[in-house]
Amino acid sequence: MYSKQTTVINRSGLHARPASEFVIAAKTFESKITVCNISDGETVNAKSISRILAQGMTQGTKIEIAAEGVDEQQAVDQLVEIVDSGFGE
């Protein structure tokens, strides 16, 4: 298992468009990928748009992205990079 922590930086958080972008990217990997909202400890499947949206991750939310599988490091690094980019907002 490989994981990294980051913070949601875009003003509108993970609303529909960035959440969709995140999930589409997550689905390109074979590994099982999860996102944990560090403040409440709830972990959800990173490949589920409904679970990501239900987390209500707003600007400033600290998250941990974790993956387990053959491409785990690449998956986590790419997803952290997407979050760190602010989803182009």
Kindly list the catalytic residues.
15
Surface-to-core class of residue 14, CB atoms within 10 Å of its CB (0-12 exposed, 13-18 middle, 19+ buried): buried
Contact 58, 8 (CB under 8 A): yes
Tokens of 79: 């997803």
